[in-house]
Structure 1
């Protein structure tokens, strides 16, 4: 410690009794510091006056703080704690000085209620070792005292307080108390009432005065008066950015500060020079004042806390914020170490090689520490200056993504002509959207005016530019006060382009985003459009749901996560990052996760209602496309509900509980909402719609043993537990495996029945007027054709080929090919048709925003669907021809392999 601070070492030599402060140094709360100093001021040690006691115990506090600071393994990490402790010590000293003033001037103290407002670094809890302490004094008259008399008394208290801190005695001095930041500066009254302060700031204050108030914090005196002062000032501080020429004024002030730096100091300034502390502080404060009007989360008076909040809520890029925070810690630590050496107020880097070496070693440099510390400082200063110029001179209020020529500006005349030329079907309607987005002087409008000329080209490159622009307007209006959205448009041009193309390409994605506009954030995140795992989705759903008190609110919160994931999957699908099997898996995982979380919370609610745990375990089994991990955007959620009563439980009570849970599940998941409802369809259960909605495991066993038909065995081929009790899931699969993977395969009668059922389905289930050549699911060569072929192969041969025991179509088809149960050529034809039909079905849903079961006959819809499938513009007719050709080849395989198989 003595090596790091000559001045503190000399003090300890002169006052060895103060070694105890070093030896017993420990972190203290602000309250402890106030109690320690005020207690000593009121009851000074023998031989000490109250003023001397204030100095002695302030110095002891300073020794303790420096001891903790100097032994810290990483002084940069320790910096915020040290700065806060110094500010708290200064606040305690101000309270002690006020006690001295009140005790010496009791009549004055009785005439007013007096408070001290800390400003600057004291207010922000980021004080240096050696610094002036900036304050504003505020007071209110005591009951029955005139304002004039009260303010005169308060001024005398304030004067005595300042003297108690700044006057030199035999025990030294503390620091000057600087009240120059008060209204009218040194020419104004030393103390004002809250109302007088408010009147001044409403009528006369300059921009810099509001900026100074950002760090205002009551630290001593009457707490109610201090709170009233803040309450009166805060609204004006956070509306200061609305003042005319506000940004220009703040920027001009920073330039004036730089211009007044003595030329001999400019290259050594840690505080005021280019790349110094003021660059960071002014950048942070400007962003706070601009955006803090609507976001209270970024209003901290502490620079590092404010910077962290600006980064957390999207106003500053995370990397930029991290760079600025690291630089701030370094610059402040350098400042502290330089000041500690001789306890002198300075913000200049030393020039002496010996002092630079000492400074470098204090920061951990061991090899040529003098050169290393200078190099580190210079590098950080360059980065600070670069970021300062970007954030401070081009804040979010300015235009972003500027076009290079005046011709591209979005004047009404230019917009109307360009909209027509770009192919907007309703240029007049599109122009109304543009006017709504760009009118006015708001920062949103300014950014939109510069960005939209570029975005119009991205909208027009897709099939539905009008729909895309309308959706963009809705999203922008929803996020009008969310400044991260403006940052995304400004800083991530790739995200802005992806947003425009997504909205103009897919009505489904647009509707999901309009319902959940916050989902646009994923476009600016690394890997943001990569679907999340089921486990991650469940964790986030549970976290969101747990914050809610009612079941309906909990499920709504989980479904909000579902909306985000739906948008993520849709965007990944639209940009071609997901093969169709992966789309099906992602959608199935999302649905299964939603069902799992809903089941957990419904059970919790049922147990809460009943006042005891359930007496039965529950299981939800996915069937059809859900069981096969092959859901589409428009697919139903086919399920079976299973329960298993606990040992000794009443079966009727268990059945009633299970039914209550299932019905509650169906209700909460089918409630209309911004995301598509999940209809839990249990029609594939034993006895269909006539059977119980939920059965016990024993009831399933009894039914399948006695009554199961071949179609029910076939339905079980895609049965997969998706939610509920894991042990019950294993037992259910043990029950159904011998049914679907029968040891004897399929009998001749089974084959005839399967073919009969398939032929009947083709004849009866195709909707009236539908073209069997183009129906995605039931048409010739469509999804159902391929699936019946594959499932028949599975049921016939899975007992001999374990690789066939899968619920998914394409893996089963691959396994059948490897087992030589079907030729490679036939397998390829079926796989191609299945993938093409699944892709076309999803693409149609993405384009139109509602279920489409056949190749569109409308040329525009066909073209939009074809583009999503990767075909060039104008390929709607080609898409239809490709579909018919591919499925025709698949149907030939079905006719030969499925219907033409020899019976044994």
Structure 2
């Protein structure tokens, strides 16, 4: 929303500017400066006086001070960062007396308040600048008053010393609410909390004070300096009721006492308040430490849907107070008011902020931007909330500009209403109210979608027919009969599941609130399970998740509050026991079920990589534990989204493999960056042969499924590490090592990051056996050693593997060199008879060891018997035979057709064979269809946690086709 319009001062209000105008013109005439005030400036003056009694009174009271402000040019320009604080610092430089401190602070505040109101009502500053200037004014007054008082307080009572550290102690002043968020309005109270790092006593005086008593007294002096009303007015009204125990609590507390309070007794509304906490005065370093200590109280590491209940309860209390005091006209607390927009934003912050660090912000508008960017709320919703909030904040400023009073109540007096409509740029009060009601209705509607109790608008008994069964109020026979009537094929088994859960130690030991949440959730769950095609199977798969989260009931609230998420959960459980197990193991994945659009639309490769980079950028570089957790959660979340898209039919099999491969590449890119940064920090940067720094001259090569862009769910990674640094040259760090050692440690670090088990599992199983010389070889090969091995020592099967090898991440220069080596090795002319014999021999060994014995690996007379099984991968005519034929063809003919080496996946290599007329086009298409059909079947079986085998009578035509082409290529079966 743009700034409210400027309209001409109506004749009915012009008299409000007369008296201050007379005073101003008289003084200008005395000085001979009437010409200095052109018509435009006089109009701005009249507008400011009509909009604000405060401006009019300040001009009449001290017209000289007003003219000095006008002459400074500050009415027409924005202040530079730090300029306001610098002005106050200079003003207090020679201040010696506490009474003089109070006087200078108040006069400075009045001058700045006049400037801010002038710029606001004349549309010279937007909402952001006005709030920022007011907050900067408060910060400067608080901190500089404290800095003035502290040394004088120490001179009187001694310097407070920490009992543990033995160091001098300073106070930390936390600004809460709008001050903390840099959103202060024209007449805000300032909500403060005082703390100090350590207990102890003062030193340097004859009679010492306990540190708490010292800071209590100092806090009282600071409040007086800011809050007391004198002939010059006040600086800011100070509200200390947000401190622990409120008005009954100590004025100041040590960090330990603050941490203990919030850990043991902190209430939900205090979490809400702490979102905006910011150090506004005192010891900034200690204050940052305090906020970090309190962060776990505000932001839970898990999804915290209990926050919605807390916010809903707070809103209900506010609504009761509004009704009791007749405050429906309150634009902050009433329906569709400022507080509802704040509640919407802070609901998402409290729920998701522990994991999504981009939500850990204080100002509201940037939080709304994150909610849109990250898909928590649709863009049109955010646009309405943002514009409605801005409109309400402008209204709030209009109300408070009138008399410098903290109010959000719409006026009843007709003249006051006319002034508000004028300030907001409307012709009259009805026109203004029409727009205001429009915004309040939209905000209230959005608030209800996010915060309101679903039971308020739908029947209380959602799933109510299951409540008695779950609570155990029914006899067993009646319960089993109800389960049978509602579609369960084995009601006795289903009843036993429910009975065992209800009697389990997890449920029996739950606290009252958790048990209430479980009792609210289970009837809803059973009602939805009963609607599934196979309710017995779905119940069996979802019960481990319920048992896993019973003691972490915020997840139950998530599913209770979001029926759509529960529906999607049950659909996935019905589709795949593997996914059901994954969600039960890692309940944080439930977050992915909230947004249907995101769940079924995984991002493309560039967006995927960018999202992961952005996530890791928000984590401190030295916080390896959180980085590893972020990587694992990212993989879990996007793997789930791919699986969900697959079941929903929005991703075919080949695209599933693409996405899973892109996911692995995005993760490997960041893992390499983390490992490089850590190893360089410890040992310094390795060198190239020419003496320059490596950057990093290292690549990760993928073989097998990841190399062939054919990853499936749960696939491991076949990797090879290659570097092109100088093996002998030492690194340039504090603990130098030679290049060989450096790159070996880099490789070890990469494997550690990929395979370490954390609370979110491991990233990938890693297989390094395809590196030169296998398990007996070096973990990381130099490019020269890799080339030498491939040219002189590698077996044919290793060259077959190289057909599917490609660089996943790392140095572009070394990647290009690797491709040249690969092309030279694979593209040389070979003895076809020898190649046929070696490929056939290797394949025979695999069939003998891994194929189905009962059918002679698919070659026996009973191979097509439905009572037997066909191993999709290893039996004759299956997946590996197709892969071996493609690899044989690439090795046999790429010296004549180098285009066969362009791609590493079987489908596109087959395309190349057809294009070069090396295989008939019909055979190419049939092989591709067979390959995709086999992989699709194996994929489905893997998601059902079943081995990759089908009945023997499956795929007969495809198997015969593969065997025919195998023979036609000169390969044999023995």
Aligned to 1:638: 718
Cα RMSD, aligned residues only = 6.4
1:80 aligns with 2:131: yes
Cα deviation, residue 655, structure 1: 5.1
- Is contact 1:280–1:328 with CA below 8 Å preserved after alignment? yes
- Structure 1 residue 379, shift from structure 2 partner: 1.3
| Cα distance in 1 for residues equivalent to 2:837 and 2:877 | 20
Is residue 927 of structure 2 the alignment partner of residue 854 of structure 1?
no
Verify: 1:562 aligned to 2:611, yes or no: no
Q: Distance in 2 between matches of 1:552 and 1:678?
A: 19
The separation in 2 between residues aligned to 1:457 and 1:256, in whole angstroms, is 43
Cα shift at 1:745: 7.3
Q: Would you say the 8 A contact 1:34–1:92 is kept in 2?
A: no
Checking the alignment, whether the CA contact within 8 Å between 1:462 and 1:501 is kept in structure 2 is: no
1:810 deviates by: 1.3
Q: Quick one: which of 812, 816, 822 aligns to 2:913?
A: 816
Alignment of 1:635-784 (within 5 A): 635-646=715-726, 658-659=743-744, 661-662=746-747, 665-666=750-751, 669-672=754-757, 674-675=761-762, 677-683=764-770, 685=771, 695-706=781-792, 710-742=796-828, 747-759=832-844, 761-766=846-851, 768-769=853-854, 772=858, 773=863, 774-784=870-880
**How many Å separate the matches in 1 of 2:495 and 2:444?**
45
Give yes or no for the alignment of 1:889 onto 2:957: yes
2:968 is the alignment partner of 1:834: no
User: How much has 1:5 moved relative to structure 2?
Assistant: 1.7
State the SS of the aligned residue for 1:2: helix
Question: Which residue is 1:866 aligned to?
Answer: none
| Residue 63, structure 1, aligned to residue 160, structure 2 | no
1:136 Cα shift? 12
Is 1:18 the counterpart of 2:66? The answer is yes
CA change 1:295–1:61 in 2 (3 A) is farther
Q: Structure 2-normalised TM-score?
A: 0.66
- Counting only pairs closer than 5 Å after superposition, residues 297-696 of structure 1 correspond to structure 2 as 304=364, 323-324=384-385, 326-340=387-401, 347=408, 373-388=432-447, 394=453, 403-404=461-462, 406-409=464-467, 410-412=470-472, 413=474, 417=481, 419=483, 421-423=487-489, 425-433=493-501, 440-442=512-514, 444-445=517-518, 447-449=520-522, 451-457=524-530, 461=534, 464-474=537-547, 476-477=549-550, 480=552, 483=554, 485=555, 488-490=558-560, 492-525=562-595, 526-532=597-603, 544=616, 547=620, 549=622, 558-607=631-680, 610-611=683-684, 613=686, 617-646=697-726, 658-659=743-744, 661-662=746-747, 665-666=750-751, 669-672=754-757, 674-675=761-762, 677-683=764-770, 685=771, 695-696=781-782
Tell me by how many angstroms 1:470 deviates: 2.9
Q: What does the per-residue CA deviation read over 1:23-44, in whole Å, with 9 as the maximum and x for residues that have no partner?
A: 3544769977886787798669
CA distance in 2, matches of 1:563, 1:581: 20
Residue pair 2:707, 2:805 contacting (<8 A) in 1 also: yes
1:827–1:371 Cα change, 3 Å: farther
Shift in Å at residue 531 of structure 1?
4.1
Shift of 1:447: 4.7
- Displacement of 1:11 after TM fit? 4.0
1:75 and 1:500 map into 2 onto residues whose CA distance is: 49
Question: For residues 222 and 885 of structure 1, what CA distance do their matches in structure 2 show?
Answer: 74
Preserved CA contact (<8 Å) 2:877 2:959: yes
Q: Distance in 2 between matches of 1:612 and 1:234?
A: 36
8 Å Cα contact 1:786-1:834 kept in structure 2: yes
Instruction: Please say if residues 778 and 784 of structure 1, whose CA atoms lie closer than 8 Å, have aligned partners that are also in contact.
Output: yes
Q: Deviation at 1:510?
A: 3.3
Q: Matched residues in 2 for 1:303 and 1:492: separation?
A: 27
1:428-462 deviation digits (Å, cap 9, x = unpaired) = 12443367798743364355245313342366637
Helix, strand or coil for the counterpart of 1:422?
Answer: coil
8 Å CA contact retained: 1:258, 1:272: no
Q: Taking structure 1 as reference, are residues 646 and 17 closer, same or farther at Cα in structure 2, changes over 3 Å only?
A: same
Q: Which residue of 1 aligns with 2:41?
A: none
Contact 1:530 1:568 (8 Å CA) reproduced = yes
Deviation at 1:808, TM superposition (A): 0.7
Residues 517 and 557, structure 2, Cα contact 8 Å, conserved in 1 = no
Unaligned residue ranges in structure 2 (runs of 5+): 1-43, 158-170, 196-200, 262-266, 300-305, 690-696, 731-736, 864-869
Equivalent residues of 2:800, 2:887 under 8 A apart: yes
Q: CA deviation at 1:588?
A: 3.0
What's the CA shift for 1:521? 1.9
User: Structure 1 pair 678/281, CA: closer, same or farther in 2 (3 Å)?
Assistant: closer
Instruction: Tell me the TM-score normalized by structure 1.
Output: 0.70
Q: Deviations for 1:655-685, whole angstroms, at most 9, x for unmatched residues? A: 55555554555565444562364232324x5
Query: In structure 1, how many angstroms separate the alpha carbons of the residues matched to 2:637 and 2:744?
Result: 31
Distance 1:507 1:3 in 2: 73
Counterpart of 2:18 in structure 1 is none
- Given that 2:119 and 2:125 are in contact with CA atoms closer than 8 Å, whether structure 1 keeps it comes out as no
Q: How far apart, CA to CA, are the structure 1 residues paired with 2:358 and 2:970?
A: 76
1:594-615 per-residue CA deviation (whole Å, 9 max, x = no partner) reads: 4454445445555555555155
Q: 8 Å contact 2:876–2:963 — kept in the other structure? A: no
Q: Deviations over 1:180-215 (max 9, x none)?
A: 999999xx99999999xx9xx9xxxxx999999999
Q: Which range moves more in the overlay, 713-722 or 73-82?
A: 73-82
Counterpart CA distance in 2 for 1:824 and 1:458 is 48
Indicate the residue corresponding to 2:11 in structure 1.
Answer: none
* 1:786 maps to which of 875, 882, 892: 882
- The 1-side partners of 2:904 and 2:794 are apart by 19
Paired residues for 1:131-280 under 5 Å: 165-166=228-229, 251=316, 254-261=319-326, 270-271=331-332, 273-277=334-338
Work out the CA distance in 2 between the residues paired with 1:686 and 1:304. 56
Residue in 2 aligned with 1:865?
none
2:496 and 2:654 map into 1 onto residues whose CA distance is 42
- Deviation track 1:679-708 (CA, whole Å, cap 9, x = no partner) reads 32324x556566666544444444444555
Q: Is the 8 A contact 1:119 1:134 kept in 2?
A: yes
Equivalent of 1:807 in 904, 925, 937: 904
Which residue of structure 2 aligns with residue 862 of structure 1? none
Counterpart secondary structure, 1:5: helix
2:357 and 2:541 map into 1 onto residues whose CA distance is 33
Q: Secondary structure at the residue paired with 2:45?
A: coil
- Paired with 2:270 and 2:723, the residues of 1 have a C-alpha distance of 66
Deviation at 1:783, TM superposition (A): 0.5
Separation in structure 2 between the aligned mates of residue 607 and residue 212 of structure 1, nearest angstrom: 42
For structure 1, the residue ranges without an aligned partner over 5 or more in a row are: 108-113, 202-206, 856-879
User: What SS is found at the alignment partner of 1:843?
Assistant: helix
Is the Cα–Cα contact under 8 Å of residues 147 and 282 in structure 2 kept in the other structure?
no
* CA-CA distance at 1:292 after TM superposition: 13
Q: Aligned-pair distance for 1:63?
A: 1.6
Q: Secondary structure at the match of 2:701?
A: strand
Q: C-alpha separation between the residues in 1 aligned to 2:848 and 2:822?
A: 30
Query: SS in structure 1 opposite 2:944?
Result: helix
